[in-house]
Amino acid sequence: MNWLQRRVRPEQIRELSLLLLIVVAVIIFGSLIDGYYTSRTFNRIASSVAIITVVAAGQTLVVLTRNIDLSVGSIVGCTAYFTGSLIAANNGLPPILAALVAIALGTLMGSINGVLVAWGRVPSIIVTLGSLAIYRGILIEYSGAKTVTTDSLPAWLVDLPQNALFTIGGLEFRTMVVLAIVVVIIFQLATSLLSFFRRFYAIGSNPEAASLIGLPAQRMIFTSFVLSGALSGLAGFLFLARFGNITVEAGRGLELQVVAAVVVGGVNIFGGSGTIFGAMLGGVMIGTLEQSLFRLGISEFWRDAILGLLILLAVASDAVILNRLRALWARSDLKLIDKTAALPGAASGTSSR
């Protein structure tokens, strides 16, 4: 047990059990649905999860700092629409530039949220509830209720969701999916290795201690909203590529799915703990259920009820099981300290004689 406790943290057990749950779900669905283990199933789930995962990575950073960003659905809608109409007007726009425009727009919207939360000292739930309505209103007002249509977009963009970058054992890894995986890997590595990103955890788990050791809390909270906006912008670009037809309603309600993915993925809603990888697993779990229930012939009307139950289970298991595990870990840490202190000759024992 000690061996185990030294190598894994309770949070990792949480993620491993979610991974196990996904595997179990896939096995159950596989035995119920004919031809479930095909590349088609994989592709379907992967492309539906890709967009949510990209947004969830940014949301995780915000939630880590004890805040929440409810405006992501509107940011995705705005960036998808505005980038779409820009590309529709100039079909010659290079792909990279188009993606950068989307990211820049998202960054701008995120930084407005960030300034208001960090320096305006307005609670994030108020700021982002407000900007959820404002960004959507700007979109509807500006667009004049017109729609970006697929046939006005250049071929490279329309084909993007079907493009496979590489194939492993019959599983196509499409551009969008690879992009989402790259985002997850970059941010997972950053949040576990770079001290700058570790500050998100410090600020979220103990704000007073963080400010006492001189961490710039306001700047970090601002950064988290900027990154959330930028990633939502990127997701808006992916949204445009995936659906082609963008109405003013694009991305409405996405914030709920994203927050659900983050919570199911084990990120503590009160900040300070959770990982980007966990948030991705949360997205995968939700996506797998959604697509598989659809294949099972269970009506789509059941989807939301099950999703709600899943979130509740995730939060309840966090509160009940994870707290027990943490207590167990803390107790064994204490024992370890006791043991080293009691060792004869340890610390000052021999030299003082």
Partner 1 sequence: MTALSRLKSWEGLLLALLLVILFFNVTDSPFFLGVGNIVNLFQLSIEKIIVALIMTLIIISGEIDLSVASVMGLAACVMAWLFQMGTPFPLALLAAVASGAVAGLFNGFWIAYVGLPSLAVTLAGLIGYRGIARILVEDRAIGGYPEWFNTLGQQPTFGPLTLSIVIFFVLLILVVVVLHRSALGRLIYVIGNSPNAARYSGVRVKRVKMALFVASGIISAIAGVLYAARLGSVRGDMAQGFELDIITIVLLGGVSIFGGSGNLVGVGLSILVILNLRNGMGLANITGNTQTSVIGALLIVSVLLPNMAQLIRNKWRGSET
For binding to partner 1 (CB under 8 A), which residues are involved?
68, 116, 120-123, 125-127, 129-134, 136-138, 140-141, 256, 259-260, 263, 269-270, 299, 301-309, 311-312, 315-316, 319-320
Give the residue with the Cβ less far from partner 1, 141 or 333: 141
Q: Count of CB atoms within 10 A of residue 64's CB? A: 28
The residues pairing with 173 across neighbouring beta strands, listed in sequence order, are 166
- What's the closest the beta carbon of residue 148 comes to partner 1, in angstroms? 18
CA distances from 114 to 79, 106, 229, 268 (A): 18, 12, 9, 20
Q: What does each C-alpha distance from 97 to 57, 86, 110 come to in angstroms?
A: 22, 11, 20
For the bound state, the minimum distance from the C-beta of residue 43 to partner 1, rounded and expressed in Å, comes to 26
- Pick between residue 308 and residue 349 the one whose CB is nearest to partner 1: 308
- Return the number of the residue (8 or 322) whose C-beta is nearest partner 1: 322
The residue among 189 and 319 lying less far from partner 1, judged by its C-beta, is: 319
Q: Is 301 exposed, middle or buried (0-12, 13-18, 19+ CB in 10 A)?
A: exposed
How far is it, in rounded angstroms, from Cα 136 to Cα 73? 9
Q: What three-state secondary structure class fits 233?
A: helix
Cα–Cα distance, 64 to 83 (Å, whole number): 30
User: What is the C-alpha separation between 203 and 218, in angstroms, rounded?
Assistant: 10
Nearer to partner 1, 135 or 277 (CB): 135
What minimum distance in Å lies between the beta carbon of 234 and partner 1?
24
Which CB atom, from 66 or from 174, has the smaller least distance to partner 1? 66
Decide whether 97 or 312 has the Cβ nearer to partner 1.
312
User: Cβ of residue 146: shortest distance to partner 1, in angstroms?
Assistant: 14
Report, in Å, the least distance between residue 25 CB and partner 1: 18
Strands (E), the chain: 164-168, 171-174
- Give the nearest distance from C-beta 51 to partner 1 in angstroms: 18
Q: Which of 244, 315, 197, 293 is closest to 81 using CA atoms?
A: 244
Give the C-alpha separation, 37 to 186, whole Å.
29
Closest contact distance (angstroms) between CB of 74 and partner 1 is 10
